[in-house]
Amino acid sequence: MAYSTTNRRHETYFLHARDIELRNHHSQRIYFFAKSEKPGAIDAVPDGYEIVENPRTGLPVLRKVKAHADAAG
């Protein structure tokens, strides 16, 4: 079962991951949300990431969790 989230407009999105090859022949994993469950759907939010919603469009996106200044010292 793919991980899903619902935005403020009550639209459901499913989390997907895909490995892509960059121009310098390195590979990178990208994460994206889609309205339907497709191949590449993943079951959970990756460690170190959190879901935020674009304030204008309502589209959910993943972003890396920022370390708090309190934790460093």
With a cut of 90, say whether residue 23 has pLDDT above it.
Answer: yes
pLDDT for position 1: 83
Q: Do residues 20 and 4 touch, judged by C-beta distance below 8 A? A: no
Q: Do residues 60 and 5 touch, judged by C-beta distance below 8 A? A: yes
Block residue for tokens 């990431």: 49
What does the radius of gyration of the chain's CA atoms come to, in whole angstroms? 14
pLDDT-derived band at 18, boundaries 50, 70, 90? very high
Q: Is 23 left (phi over 0), alpha (psi -120 to 50) or beta?
A: alpha
Q: Taken in order 13, 18, 24, 26, is the CA torsion positive or negative?
A: positive
Kindly report, residue by residue over 28-73, the tens digit of the pLDDT. Answer: 999 999 999 999 999 999 999 999 999 999 999 999 998 776 655 5
* Predicted TM-score (pTM) of this structure: 0.81
pLDDT for position 71: 58
pLDDT for position 67: 77
